[in-house]
Amino acid sequence: MPIQTVMTKGKVPVKIYTDEVESAAFQQLYNLSQLPFIHSHIAVMPDVHCGKGATVGSVIPTAGAIIPAAVGVDIGCGMNALRLSIKAHDLPDNLRSLRLFIEAAIPVGFAMHKQDRARQSTVTALAVGLHSILGKHRKLNTMQKKPYQTWVRQLGTLGGGNHFIELCLDENDDVWVLLHSGSRGIGNVMGEYFIALAKKDMGQHLINLPDKDLAYFSEGAAHYDDYLEAVGWAQDYALANRREMMYLICEALRKKLPKFGITKEAINCHHNYVVREEHFGKSVWITRKGAIRAGEGELGIIPGSMGAKSYIVRGKGNPQSFCSCSHGAGRVMSRSAAKKRFDSDDVDAQTRGIECRKDSGVVDEIPAAYKDIDQVMAHQSDLVEIVHTLRQVLCIKG
């Protein structure tokens, strides 16, 4: 579908690929559109919902400034997908033991590996950049216990919230591994630190903003380059985390499944990040807050909830969306609201046929807390085409 709604009250238009937007998200989008450095317009994906400062599902082009809270604190959060060379009939009839085996190999929630598990080449490559950042901002060292050990041992771990590992089947009964994770504890402290620093640097000018969480670093300002260095490092860390985790998952699966290979369809994409791109004749910073790049011919991943389909897509390079599409289904209710409305019996009913936790600890991730993924996909038919439709048979939540 084409753009469904256009907001014109701000300094730039806001072009929205759905007609269902909660009032709080509309206010956030209006606040964003008031900023003086937005280039051309703001694009909003059909999974849009309220976030902190910036709206989840928004694509924000900025010239001469960058907003740390728009990137958020899970810097580089994104998806990784691999198609294996085995079929559905190669999986065991009962997947519970396989789920428990993967959970034993991959720490979830706040947990990390008890010893260094990441490949040394990965650790060495990341350590150089981190040393530079910590040398300039020593407070970051105090925001985590045992910071060096923590970031090394969290490589190849899932995290909590909506992060997940899944085994899925496509329309040909091929087996896929999907995972969703980001930059873990180190990305979180970097995000929080630079969001606070942006507010401090703006000083009295902060009162001129429609929302203090939209504090920004202007090009040439004291910490502008430092933030770009840190956010770039955290994005690299997130990519490496997903690679290491996928490696460990495949190593675990090889012990339980028939011999398999990995196809060329391997995708590793961010959906909370900032990158330099050219749009409408100008080189700008593109912040995708809950959106993935969907350049012409580029493969991406759009997951549903833990009880719905997911999609491998190919971008159409739509310029009005800044070559972007949604990053998932998008929430329709908060975690606290979901916990009040549903219980573990509801989770069991809504995830029937899927091997996953069905206890009270995952009620906030119940499928009913999310938008209908089919409707979200229908609203972005101008942005992507579907390459594979995946249905999960096993899901691990953080």
| Residues 155-205 pLDDT 10s | 999 999 999 999 999 999 999 999 999 999 999 999 999 999 999 999 999
Cβ 369 vs Cβ 308: under 8 Å? no
Q: Has 330 been labeled as part of a binding site?
A: yes
pLDDT, position 124:
96
Whether 388 is catalytic = no
Q: What is the pLDDT of residues 296-326, one digit of tens each?
A: 999 999 999 998 999 999 999 999 999 999 9
Check the annotation: does 223 bind a ligand.
no
Residues 6+ apart with CB under 8 A from 224: 66, 217, 218
User: Would the annotation count 97 as a binding residue?
Assistant: no
| 328 domain residue, yes or no | no
Return the closest-CA partner of residue 118 out of 243, 302, 299. Answer: 243
List the beta bridge partners of residue 169: 175, 391
- CATH assignment at residue 84: 3.90.1860.10
Residue 262 belongs to a domain = yes
166 is known to lie in a ligand binding site? yes
Catalytic residue among 49, 327, 379, 388: 327
Residue 374 lies in a domain: no
Q: 42-62 pLDDT, tens per residue?
A: 999 999 999 987 999 999 999
**In the predicted structure, residue 281 carries a pLDDT above the cut 70:** yes
* Residue 162 labeled ligand binder: yes
In DSSP terms, 178 is beta-bridged to 81, 166
310 marked as part of a ligand binding site: yes
In a domain, 208, yes or no: yes
- pTM, entire model: 0.97
Residue 79 lies in a domain: yes
Number of domains within the chain: 1
For the chain, give the number of residues: 398
Confidence of residue 264 (pLDDT cuts 50, 70, 90): low
Domain assignment present for 383? no
- The C-alpha R_g of the chain, in whole angstroms, comes to 21
* Two structure tokens written together for 327: 């990053």
The verdict on whether residue 164 carries a ligand-binding annotation is yes
- What local confidence, expressed as pLDDT, does residue 52 receive? 84
| Residue 339 belongs to a domain | no
Within a domain: 332: no
Q: Is 377's pLDDT higher than 80?
A: yes
For 116, the domain range is 5-298
Give dist(CA 246, CA 82) in Å, integer: 8
What is the overall mean pLDDT for the chain? Answer: 96
- pLDDT tens sequence across 102-158: 999 999 999 999 999 999 999 999 999 999 999 999 999 999 999 999 999 999 999
